[in-house]
Amino acid sequence: DAISTPAKEDPREAEYDQQRFALDWQAPLLAEHNWSAGMALFQENLTQIHNGIYEVEKGTRRHSVDLYLQDQLFFDYAALQPGTPLSEESDGEMELVPGLRLTQDSDFGLDLAPKLNARFDLPAQADRTMFLRAGIGRGYRVANLKERHYLFDHSHLGYVVEGNPDL
């Protein structure tokens, strides 16, 4: 193979760092509930210099705080029938997991993402067990600083990776 683009010297310096701290808590409450809660703190910094000129300003940073809460509930199918008391020896044949995640981001503001997941055990067959899962929720992810601002120029190899500030 012949190189179609001659190599060129195009120095570009970049510094990227990130820090993350997370705290998770789980506790069973009553026989049918398993609560989870937590928080995450995140910070990232990006600086990029090309030929002595800042392409991404020194001190460009983003930080966020996430808080979440969810409950894992277990039920017997029989307990859902009117007039049937909940058994002390629940098989947990149905599981519901409602939850909320709250995110505060320095660049994108406040977001609330709810979810609801369910699992239903189907009647067991002789050689297998089966279950049905369903879920609905709202996902949310912020583009990081590299995805929004970073420029990685390898045009001498045939490609350039450019961040998109509109993400």
pLDDT, averaged across the chain:
83
Give the Cα separation of 159 and 81 in Å (integer): 63
Q: What is the mean pLDDT of residues 71-93?
A: 63
Q: 141 φ, ψ to 5°?
A: -145, 130
Q: What is the mean pLDDT of residues 130-135?
A: 91
Q: In Å, how far from its chain's centre is CA 20?
A: 13
pLDDT in tens, 6-59: 555 567 788 889 999 999 999 988 777 899 999 999 999 999 888 888 888 888
User: pLDDT at residue 90 above 50?
Assistant: no
pLDDT of residue 83: 52
Burial 18-54 (b: 16+ CB within 10 A, else e): eeeeeeeeeeeeeebebeeeeebebebbbbbbeeeee
Torsion sign, CA atoms 136, 142, 146, 152? positive
Contact in structure between 121 and 110 (CB atoms under 8 Å): no
User: pLDDT at residue 64 above 50?
Assistant: yes
pLDDT of residue 77: 66
pLDDT of residue 7: 54
The maximal CA–CA distance of the chain, rounded, in angstroms, is 81
pLDDT of residue 10: 64
User: pLDDT at residue 82 above 60?
Assistant: no
Q: What is the pTM of this model?
A: 0.74
Q: What is the mean pLDDT of residues 95-111?
A: 95
